[in-house]
Amino acid sequence: MAKVLVLYYSTYGHVEQMAYAVAEGARETGAEVVVKRVPELVPEEVARQNHFKLDQAAPIATVAELADYDAIIFGTPTRYGNMASQMKQFIDQTGGLWMKGALVGKVGSVFTSTASQHGGQETTLTSFHTVLFHHGMVVVGLPYSFQGQAGVEAVKGNTPYGASTIADGDGSRQPSAVELEGARFQGRHVAGIAAKLA
Ligand SMILES: Cc1cc2nc3c(=O)[nH]c(=O)nc-3n(C[C@H](O)[C@H](O)[C@H](O)COP(=O)(O)O)c2cc1C
């Protein structure tokens, strides 16, 4: 049975919602799935003033525990087309794991959220993949066998590089049914591959 970690950062809850959908999909394969998040770096007072979603139930992950999983599925909102600094700060503490090759051969995958439709989903996902390659991970996206990413009938996220949602400038848009289905598909897909490799 594959052990899967869904590790996310979310300021306003969009990536958090996607994380639980990813986990749901991964669990459908019989995998043991844990959802955790990385620490917030913004002072609590500032976070409150800016309406951050502070009631997030997922426990905070430790860097060392990354080595305990067969697959890690990372979720981050975009920041100027890249991952959020909270996630980067966590990842930049993985030097010890890198030295030991602790993540080599594990499955790595990424999902994201942007405010606007063309606000950098693909660059956030593929630039995150670079980190996973440095760790020797087997990088997995969202294949086109998830047909929900085709078609132009509606504004929607999801890319071959990973599931995604669009939050709108004021964060009012919530992940749509097809975006959550993409997240579940990615979770299932990653967990299935991890089980084959384990
Ligand atoms: C500093 C900063 C930079 C951002 N850069 C982008 C961007 O380049 N493109 C975009 O579409 N949205 C951008 N956003 C919006 C966030 O990506 C959006 O709030 C997020 O996807 C919502 O996800 P969350 O609710 O999980 O935090 C930015 C937000 C902040 C605070």
pLDDT digits (tens, 9 = 90+) for 81-113: 999 999 999 999 999 999 999 999 999 999 999
Res 1 pLDDT > 90: no
176, amino acid identity: S
Tokens standing for residue 6: 């869904």
Query: Could you tell me if the CB of 10 is within 6 A of ligand 1?
Result: yes
Can you say how many angstroms the Cα of residue 140 is from the centroid of all Cα atoms in its chain?
Answer: 12
79 among annotated binding-site residues: yes
CA gap 29, 158 in Å, rounded: 21
Query: No. of H helices and E strands in the chain?
Result: 6, 7
Query: Could you tell me if the CB of 166 is within 6 A of ligand 1?
Result: no
78 among annotated binding-site residues: yes
35 Cα to the center of ligand 1, angstroms: 21
Res 115 pLDDT > 90: yes
Domains of the chain, first to last? 3-197 (3.40.50.360)
Beta bridge partner(s), residue 164: 112
In the prediction, which pLDDT does 15 show? 99
pLDDT digits (tens, 9 = 90+) for 150-163: 999 999 999 999 99
**Nearest ligand 1 atom, CA 120:** 9
Question: Model ipTM?
Answer: 0.99
Q: Which residues contact 151 (CB under 8 A, 6 or more apart)?
A: none
User: What is the pLDDT averaged over residues 7-12?
Assistant: 98
In the prediction, which pLDDT does 40 show? 98
* CB 190, CB 174: distance < 8 Å: no
Tokens standing for residue 122: 């693909």
Res 196 pLDDT > 90: yes
In the prediction, which pLDDT does 53 show? 98
How does residue 59 score in pLDDT terms, banded at 50, 70 and 90? very high
Angle between helix 14-27 and helix 177-197 axes, rounded to 10 deg: 50
Query: Could you tell me if the CB of 78 is within 6 A of ligand 1?
Result: yes
How does residue 145 score in pLDDT terms, banded at 50, 70 and 90? very high
130 among annotated binding-site residues: no
In the prediction, which pLDDT does 83 show? 98
Can you say how many angstroms the Cα of residue 185 is from the centroid of all Cα atoms in its chain?
Answer: 13
* CB 76, CB 110: distance < 8 Å: yes
Percent of the chain beyond pLDDT 90?
99
In the prediction, which pLDDT does 198 show? 87
Mean pLDDT of the chain: 98
